[in-house]
Structures are given as structure tokens and as C-alpha cells.
Amino acid sequence: MQRSALFLLVFTIACNGGGTSSGTDSDTASSTGSGTGAGTGSTTGDDPTTSTSTSTGTSQASTTTSDGPTTASGPTSTTTSTTGVDTTGVDTTEGTTDEPGDAIYDPAEDGPWQFGELAAELDVDGEAIGVTAYYPTQGPEGGPYPVVTLAHGFNLPPTQYTSYATRLASHGYVVLNVDHAGYIFGAVDHVANANQVLAALDWAAEHPVLGDISDVDNVGATGHSLGGKISVLAAMYDARVKASLTLDPVDGANMCPNMQACPDVSGMLPIAIPLGFLGETLDTAGFMACAPAAENFTTFYAEASAPALQVTVHGANHMSFLDDVGSCGITCSFCQQPTLDNAVVNDVARAYVVAYYGRWLRGNAGYDTYLTGAEAQQRYVDMGLVTIAEK
């Protein structure tokens, strides 16, 4: 069948560029009810109730350079809203000691923390970068809490990853869902994107609400597709990032002006922090593969040093890690058709993100059972959902 030049351009950007969507760039994210749901992040009849209040404040913007982040302060207007979410009835098992942080909460379920939400727009080297923070407001342990950054895929809205943010917040993490400038009509600059993600840490550290509860020296970096690549790059730039787990990262450089703007990040490994990679192999071959084998998650794992984790989700495609593929638009149809339900992939991926940071940001080895041990074997490996490799 004949394809128009425009179709080929969109197809190339969508797949080889690390995934796209018809979603639009948004400076702030709307309030959500819960981290649960069948891959959509929406509330269900069993979800907790939501109450809202509003407040205002100011923040400090962070500016960066292509060689890594540097900071300079400047006032930035902030729009904030808080959403308290009651997450009760969570099954837990106790850790091996009575020290704070040793309780193990099932990562496949919402945790016991209530959390709030606020949004802001940062000026990073002249780019307006949106960030939505999800932060614990009440729970079994007080802060400061580990911080996790979320980075969206190329041309995909940050709202497609809300369920990851709310699940993490319910487990006692401050989550910064960053609307970096990785969009089709902007300048392609993966180094700048990584620095935009890091700028959110500086903003959180100075924020009147987040500053006291955010341990910005104990950070995890998570992202999908292009967001996965720039999350690993951010970890290379900033020692505050202590671990990174990424979702089907793609180390591509389509439309890049030069390799300085879009470096081969997997080729820059290893780095001395734990790295984890969830991915799929359905979209790694064929015409305009969405996650080409030469640039996919296995190339990152191959170069990573121990401790490193690789989880292959069987039957997922490149877009299966989104909250709701059904709302992604025509771009998602460019990838191979998955054989595993979107909701099932979400359940696996959310659980792994929470367990990984429980292990490496909280230092609780009890979470190994959900990563590679008995629970992971029973829930995922024995069911044929995943294959696990570690080193």
C-alpha cells in the first residue's frame, strides 16, 4: 500500500524516535484519584475517596548546560493543588528488623500513605517545563522521603504515567512527573531534556511544601522510551540519582542535529548505581520498529555493571507501558499489536517500579522477593509473563 511522505515522517518519528502520541504538551496535570486501576489510572468503585484544597507558592527555577546541570535561581510562578487520597487496607509483611523503613508493602497494591498533588511551571534555559508533584501527606513513617523523577516518552503526555506516580506516592515517595521538552515540534536535544528533569529536583528542594519532605540526595530516575534514555543520562550527570529503573528505553537519535545533543547513552555505561530495565521484544524488528533491537533496553543492560536487572515482558509492545493505550491516538497503532493486555503490563511495571526503589532507595533487601525472588517467580515467571536476568 502506498504511504504519503507525511505518513512516513510521522511513522519514523513515532517508532524510531522512541514512541509518540497524539497528546498535547501540557504545563500542568489534572488531579487524579488513585494509583490503582486497570492500566488507566482512573478511579473505580473500590478506589479511595478524594478531597481537594488549594494553596499557592513560589519556586526556584534551575538552568542547565549541555555538559551537565548547573543551577541559577529565578522566581517562577507556581499553581498548586492538593489531593488527599486514603489508601487503607493494604496487605503488608514486616521486615527483618524494627528499624524505620523495614516494613515491606506489597508493590502490586497501593501503599498506606495518603498523598497530595501540586503543579508548577519552571523556566529551564528559556524552556517552559511543567512538573506535577505527588507527595505523601500522612502515613506510617514521616519524611523526608526518597524522590523519584518520571520522564515521558517522545511526544507522549506526562498524564500517561500518572498511575506510576500515584502508586509510588502511596508507598512513601515524592514523585516529580516532569513535562520535559521531548516533543515533535521542539528542538531535539536529549541532553537538555535530561537537565530539565534534573531541574525539578532543585525546584522541589526549595519548594515551601516539598522542601522539608523531599530527600533530594536519594533519587530514583524512571522514564519510558525517550524518557528512559534521558533518565539514565540524568543519572550520569547528577550524583543525587542513586538508582534508575526505566521502561522500554530507546537509545535513538532520530532528528538530532548532532551526537552532542543526542549521545549514545548505553555506550556511556557503566555507571556506579543500580540500573533496572523493563522492556519488550515484540517491537524490536521489522519496518520502522518502535524499539529497534540495536537501541532497545537490552543494549542498556548489556553495558550496565552489577547490580543490574533486566525484565522482559512477554506479549507487551512498546506502548504497553502507558497508562491507557486506548487514549494514545493513531500513533500507538504504528507499533506491533500486543498480545498481553495493557492493564496486565501496567500491573507488572508499577509493581516493579515500587519494589525496585524499595530495594535501592530505601535499602530494604526484603523487596528482592518481588524483583527476582519467590514472589516474582510465582506472580510473573511461572505465569509466563516475564523473563528475568540479573547481574
Q: Which amino acid is at 90?
A: V
Across the range 264-279, mean pLDDT stands at 98
* pLDDT value of residue 74: 36
Dump pLDDT digits (tens) for 36-94: 333 333 333 333 333 333 333 333 343 333 344 433 333 344 444 444 433 333 344 43
Q: Which three cell numbers stand for residue 308?
A: 543490574
Higher-confidence position of 306 and 334: 306
Lowest model confidence (mean pLDDT) among 79-83, 184-188, 194-198, 339-343: 79-83
Whether 362 has a pLDDT exceeding 90, the answer reads yes
pTM, rounded to two decimals: 0.80
Q: Which three cell numbers stand for residue 7?
A: 505518513
As for how many domains the chain has, the answer is 1
Whether 14 has a pLDDT exceeding 50, the answer reads no
Q: Are 13 and 184 in contact (CB under 8 A)?
A: yes
User: Terminal CA-to-CA distance of the chain, rounded, Å?
Assistant: 45
Q: How confident is the model at residue 254 (pLDDT cuts 50, 70, 90)?
A: confident
93 C-beta neighbours (distance < 10 Å), count: 10
Q: CA 137, 165, 232, 152 torsion: positive or negative?
A: negative
Dump pLDDT digits (tens) for 86-132: 333 334 443 333 454 579 999 999 999 999 999 999 999 999 999 99
Q: Which residue has the cell 536476568?
A: 389
* pLDDT value of residue 77: 42
* pLDDT value of residue 101: 56
The whole-chain average pLDDT of the chain stands at 81
Rounded percentage of the chain residues whose pLDDT exceeds 90: 67
Across the range 157-181, mean pLDDT stands at 98
Q: What is the CATH number of the domain that holds 373?
A: 3.40.50.1820
Dump pLDDT digits (tens) for 211-235: 999 999 999 999 999 999 999 999 9
Whether 320 has a pLDDT exceeding 90, the answer reads yes
Residue 246's SS3 state is strand
Whether 258 has a pLDDT exceeding 70, the answer reads yes
Backbone dihedral angles phi then psi of residue 343, each to the nearest 5 degrees: -65, -35
Read off the DSSP letter of residue 204.
Answer: H
Residue 287's SS3 state is coil
Q: Are 114 and 138 in contact (CB under 8 A)?
A: yes
Whether 11 has a pLDDT exceeding 50, the answer reads no
Q: Which three cell numbers stand for residue 152?
A: 515521558
Q: Which domain holds residue 105?
A: 5-390
